Amino acid sequence: MESTVSENNWYVLRVMGGKEKKTRLFIEKEIDRLNLNAFVSQILIPTEKVYQIKNGKKVSREKNFFPGYLLIEANLTGEVPHIIRGIQNVMGFLGSTKGGDPVPMRDAEINKILGRVDEMALTDENVSIPFIAGETVKVIDGPFNSFNAEIESIDEQKKKLKLIVKIFGRKTPLELNFMQVEKI
């Protein structure tokens, strides 16, 4: 039997927001049930790790960077697109005209997305510096929790912020790390 992998392309599948994982499971079960594994090689939910401080502890969670979409590598021949469209929570393929054929993603687009997914897996703590001196942020950890503070300076190496908090009209200096504040 000849391999169909070379004919597989990447497609974007529109799904119900917040139900990406459940939808991926539905698709996988249906593909298994109908023995169509040769036509669908993988289904991805592009996510990135996001870090926050909760109760004084650093917590990481997965954040979907394309909510409402799944990436599916498949050979959409015959009934395969119709079967996938009929699965619960699936709204259709991106780029297809109503009832038309799904449009595959360009290699450059998928490589960029897959590169970003791999990059996120490799760089465990890729924290970008989302703060600007002079900006007002909300403290979300420590004794000044829920206070607003103004950023005085930023130490990118140590990932620390020098802040000024106004308490009873007096300015109080404070040093916190990036995870202990959030943008307002």
The whole-number pLDDT of residue 43 equals 94
Domain ranges of the chain: 5-122, 136-183
User: In this structure, what is the dihedral angle of CA atoms 72, 76, 106, 95, given to the nearest 10 degrees?
Assistant: -90
- The whole-model pTM stands at 0.59
Burial of 40 (0-12, 13-18, 19+ CB in 10 A): buried
> What digits encode the pLDDT tens for the residues 46-92?
887 777 777 777 777 788 878 899 999 999 988 999 999 999 999 99
Q: For residue 141, which of 178, 169, 184 has the smallest C-alpha distance?
A: 178
For residue 139, the one-letter residue type is V
Fold category of 5-122 in CATH = Alpha-Beta Plaits (3.30.70)
Fold category of 136-183 in CATH = SH3 type barrels. (2.30.30)
Q: Are strands 69-74 and 9-15 parallel, antiparallel or unpaired?
A: antiparallel
Query: Which among 26-30, 99-103, 163-167 has the top mean pLDDT?
Result: 26-30
